[in-house]
Amino acid sequence: MNSKCIGDISESAVLAALVAKGKTVLTPFGDKNRYDLVVEEEGHFRRLQVKTGRLRDGVIMFSTHSSTRQKGQRVETSYVGQIEEFAVYCPETKEVYLVPIDECGHTRVQLRVAEERLPNKLIKRANKYKL
């Protein structure tokens, strides 16, 4: 499966989960925006960037930037100032997590779904963000 197909599956899972929770969801036209979905609540709008989380050793990981190639060089671009939340779908858990960008690191986020063996301040509890 290519990355576009994986992204489409994640975006549709997030959309379905938000609608099932009674949220009003807007979809921007085209692929030129830095956000994938917009949630409207009481006249306030939140831009969401959908990411696919990968479960490894009881931790869901996702990137907090986009990567492209320009003139043969890898360019990583932050979403700061362009979204309010990451909406993360994890195929292994079949869950959606909403993580405010203000609570994210510069390159990736780790959400723990399994019990901790040793405390780690860098890994957040997934249940806090579950939709």
Give residue for tokens 């907090």.
64
Question: Please, what sign has the CA dihedral across residues 13, 52, 59, 130?
Answer: negative
| Residue 116 scores a pLDDT above 90 | no
Alpha-carbon span 114 to 100, nearest angstrom: 21
Please state, as a whole number, how many other Cβ atoms lie within 10 Å of the Cβ of residue 6: 13
pLDDT value at position 41? Answer: 94
| Residue 121 scores a pLDDT above 80 | no
pLDDT value at position 70? Answer: 80
Q: Give the pLDDT band of residue 27 (cuts 50, 70, 90).
A: very high
The model's pLDDT over 29-87, given as tens digits with 9 standing for 90+, comes to 988 889 999 999 999 999 999 999 999 989 999 999 887 778 888 888 889 999 999 99
E strands within 31-127? 37-41, 44-52, 54-56, 59-63, 65-70, 73-78, 85-90, 95-100, 108-112, 124-125
The model's pLDDT over 95-110, given as tens digits with 9 standing for 90+, comes to 999 999 999 878 889 8
pLDDT value at position 119? Answer: 65
Give residue for tokens 């509890």.
125
Question: For the chain, what is the domain count?
Answer: 1
CATH number at residue 15: 3.40.1350.10
Tokens representing residue 57 in the block: 């050793």
Alpha-carbon span 80 to 110, nearest angstrom: 18
Can you give the residue range of the structural domain that contains 90? 3-129
pLDDT value at position 66? Answer: 84
